[in-house]
Amino acid sequence: MAENLLADLSDARQTEQFTQLLQRPGLRIERIVSRGQCSPPDDWYDQNEHEWVLLLQGAAELMLADGSVIRLTAGDHVYLPAHEKHRVHWTDPQQDTVWLAVFHH
């Protein structure tokens, strides 16, 4: 059965929405819907898994621990190796930002 990643989006106006799409040993795929959310200033993701993330819709910025900012728009993707400290610096407050995140070991 086919499904559309941009259909039936959860309401993200109050809080980010995470939908697990697939989980297997060593692999997890999530759809994340954001609308204006960002990480707290001193909160960094420091994950044990590698992460490849594709922005399907909207716009966002990721900040790396070295202070560099990666601006993403629809179609952009980035690979974050395990323990690459990063945070969500900004997401568009005017529209849903939809991420496809693939985590693997």
Q: What is the mean pLDDT of residues 60-82?
A: 98
Residue 54 lies in a domain: yes
Q: pLDDT band at residue 86, thresholds of 50, 70 and 90? A: very high
pLDDT value at 29 more than 90: yes
Q: What is the mean pLDDT of residues 77-84?
A: 98
Residue 65 lies in a domain: yes
pLDDT value at 1 more than 90: no
Residue 14 lies in a domain: no
Which CATH number covers residue 82?
A: 2.60.120.10
Distance CA(50)–CA(31), nearest Å, equals 16
End-to-end CA distance of the chain: 28
Q: What is the mean pLDDT of the chain?
A: 96
Structural tokens at position 48: 């044990």
Residues 55 and 97 sit within 8 Å (Cβ to Cβ): yes
Residues 75 and 58 sit within 8 Å (Cβ to Cβ): no
Q: Which pTM value belongs to this model?
A: 0.93
pLDDT value at 85 more than 90: yes
Residue 10 lies in a domain: no
Residue 6 lies in a domain: no
Give the amino acid at 79.
Y
Residue 13 lies in a domain: no
Q: What is the mean pLDDT of residues 47-52?
A: 97
pLDDT value at 99 more than 90: yes
CA atoms within 13 A on the CB side of 85: 8
The count of structural domains within the chain is: 1
Residue 1 lies in a domain: no
Residue 94 lies in a domain: yes
Domain carrying residue 52: 21-104
